[in-house]
């Protein structure tokens, strides 16, 4: 079994370490600039969009930062983008994602302070943004976006929380810097359990993914870029609070629903979804942050993504698929 995703999964902790080692002072300078703006736009596609969703929801739970999230072309064509005293952060593994790059160029035209986060130092986005952060992952080949996902997310967290009024910022950033050590342990202890779970569910064709607060961004990634792109399974992400609309009518005995729970205030609704699913015999896969760590629950996506990666990795494997390959997606750019 030789899949590129396997080695890249293990490279996640060092990717964060190296990025912090080389980019920390730069991120602090960017954060200082962002602390003075009135509005921040986060723009990305695929896994990069999921990090934007997570960062926005995490920040808006505990700070007064004014944050909007867009996909690239939604930003590009939006007539109400306010360029006055605003900043925009554009995230892309390749730095060449066509719609994100078009949005960055549009933001530059509007006089918005632009920041690019990419894994490619010579990419168009890094060259054209006013400020940039180059994540230190090395080339990523697997489509699921393991190491670039966690480094993008850690960069967004460090910059945005440093720019915020969150009263526990120092404590959170200290825990964020310690995330690589914790991730190494979780990578080791969660493989076998999720390997067995993937074998049990290998014949399922559709999975629903629910999360609240910052975990919605992870649920979005799980459904859109992990299950559908990596394991070639139909999937749909929802905010936990939307379980009662639509999905509640499709939640039937033996339907697999993956639910992320981190004891956010909004996870009161998540628990109600879990209770309902268990009552009617849904195949409920509950991933609870507290089963893996007791750090600040705003950091939950960094923790829960690891067992989910193992699950999707083996789900693809047991269906004869390479979890890092694609059939139609041009990862670097659209032609």
How far apart CA 61 and CA 134 sit, in angstroms, is: 28
How far apart CA 259 and CA 209 sit, in angstroms, is: 6
Map out the domains of the chain with their CATH numbers.
4-166 (3.40.50.10490), 179-319 (3.40.50.10490)
| Residue 111: how many other CB atoms lie within 10 Å | 11
Pair of tokens at residue 124? 């168009």
In the chain, beta strands by DSSP E: 39-43, 67-70, 86-92, 113-118, 131-134, 206-211, 234-239, 256-261, 283-288
How far apart CA 89 and CA 251 sit, in angstroms, is: 37
Cα 12 off chain centre by: 13
pLDDT one digit per residue (tens) for the chain, 335 residues: 678 899 999 999 999 999 999 999 999 999 999 999 999 999 999 899 999 999 999 999 999 999 999 999 999 999 999 889 999 999 998 889 899 999 999 999 999 999 999 999 999 999 999 999 999 998 888 877 899 999 999 999 999 999 999 999 999 999 999 999 999 999 999 999 999 999 999 999 999 999 999 999 999 999 999 999 999 999 999 999 998 888 887 778 888 999 999 999 999 999 999 999 999 999 999 999 999 999 999 999 999 999 999 999 999 999 999 887 766 555 443 34
CA separation (Å) from 55 to 80, 301, 302, 324? 22, 10, 12, 25
Quickly tell me which residue has 């005995």 as its tokens. Answer: 253
139-148 core/surface letters (b: 16 or more CB in 10 A; e: else): ebebbbbbbb
- What angle, 0 to 180 degrees and rounded to 10, lies between the N-to-C axes of helices 300-318 and 214-221? 20
């Amino acid at each position: 079994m030789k899949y590129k995703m396997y080695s890249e999964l293990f490279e996640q902790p060092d990717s964060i370490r190296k990025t912090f080692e080389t980019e920390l002072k730069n991120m602090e300078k960017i954060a200082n600039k962002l602390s003075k703006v009135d509005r921040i736009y986060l723009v990305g596609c695929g896994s990069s969009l999921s990090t934007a969703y997570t960062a926005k929801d995490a920040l808006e739970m505990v700070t007064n930062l004014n944050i909007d999230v867009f996909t690239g072309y939604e930003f590009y064509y939006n007539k109400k983008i306010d360029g006055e005293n605003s900043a925009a952060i554009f995230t892309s593994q390749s730095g060449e994602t066509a719609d994100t790059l078009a949005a960055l160029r549009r933001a530059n035209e509007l006089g918005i302070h632009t920041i690019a986060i990419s894994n490619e130092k010579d990419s168009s986005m890094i060259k054209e943004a006013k400020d940039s952060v180059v994540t230190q992952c090395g080339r990523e080949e697997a489509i699921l976006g393991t190491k670039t996902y966690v480094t993008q997310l850690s960069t967004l967290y460090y910059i945005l929380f440093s720019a915020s009024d969150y009263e526990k910022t120092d404590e959170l950033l200290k825990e964020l810097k310690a995330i690589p050590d914790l991730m190494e342990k979780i990578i080791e202890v969660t493989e076998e359990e999720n390997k067995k779970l993937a074998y049990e569910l290998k014949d399922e064709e559709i999975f629903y993914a629910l999360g609240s607060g910052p975990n919605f961004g992870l649920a979005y990634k799980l459904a859109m870029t992990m299950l559908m792109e990596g394991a070639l399974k139909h999937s749909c992400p929802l905010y936990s609070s939307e379980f009662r609309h639509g999905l509640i009518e499709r939640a039937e005995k033996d339907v697999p629903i993956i639910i992320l729970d981190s004891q956010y205030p909004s996870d009161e609704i998540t628990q109600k979804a879990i209770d309902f699913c268990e009552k009617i015999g849904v195949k409920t896969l509950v991933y609870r942050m507290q089963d893996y760590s007791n750090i600040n629950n705003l950091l939950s996506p960094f923790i829960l993504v690891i067992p989910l990666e193992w699950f999707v990795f083996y789900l693809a494997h047991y269906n004869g698929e390479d979890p890092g390959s694609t059939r139609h997606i041009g990862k670097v750019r659209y032609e």
